Amino acid sequence: MRWTFFLLTGAMLVALAAAKPFLRQNSPVTAPVRIAYGPGHGFEAIDLDLIGRAKDRIDMAAYVLSDQRIIEALSAAAERGVKIRLYLDPEQFRRIAGANVNMLALVNQPNVSARIKAEQNDMMHLKSFAVDGRWLRTGSANFSWAGERRQDNDILVIDSPEATRDFLRNFDMIWARRDNSEASQ
């Protein structure tokens, strides 16, 4: 019994020593990070600031995208020549686009490409976006009036090309799924 304990303990120690450390010295986690908690930390102002900084591109995965000011800021960014990719949940998109002419206008606007995850798959539940390959905004807050102002949520803004590259690798993978559909009409 005692030998079994020592063998298992030794095997675990060897496995831990051989494993790649999750938080490497140059890990994106060591990058400048701002964490905000809601309600009350001005998520909408943070999101509007990031969208307003965009000069080249915004890649957004949005479970819910219904906040009018966020939609207007994305539209204004597209008008200034920023390339925007939106990846959306099918059920939420149908619900929002059916009642929101600004959302329909956004997905049909020049410089905006919008795709919807296939319905037979599970929901698209991300609430994240990358700006110019530098900033990454992620967290639990939807891009909705309640998510930005009233709900208990958090968001992280990471100023790190490395962390943003990791997000974009995943975004490119989900964006390229064959069973996605176009949101424009």
Report residue 28 as tokens. Answer: 């994106």
**For the segment 69-125, what is each residue's pLDDT rounded down to a tens digit?**
999 999 999 999 999 999 998 888 888 877 778 888 999 999 999 999 987 767 889
- Residue 77: the pLDDT is 98
pLDDT bucket at 170, cuts 50 / 70 / 90: very high
- Residue 8: the pLDDT is 53
Q: Does the residue 2 lie in any domain?
A: no
- Residue 158: the pLDDT is 93
Domain ranges, residue 63:
31-182
> What is the model's pTM?
0.81
Dist. CA 165–CA 161, nearest whole Å: 6
Domain count, the chain: 1
Average pLDDT across the chain, whole number: 84
Q: Does the residue 22 lie in any domain?
A: no
Q: Does the residue 4 lie in any domain?
A: no
- Residue 57: the pLDDT is 98
Q: Does the residue 1 lie in any domain?
A: no
Phi/psi of residue 65, each to 5°? -130, 90
The CA-based dihedral angle spanning residues 65, 70, 74, 76, taken in that order and rounded to the nearest 10 degrees? 150
Q: Does the residue 9 lie in any domain?
A: no
- CATH number reported for the structural domain that contains residue 120 in this entry: 3.30.870.10
- Residue 31: the pLDDT is 60
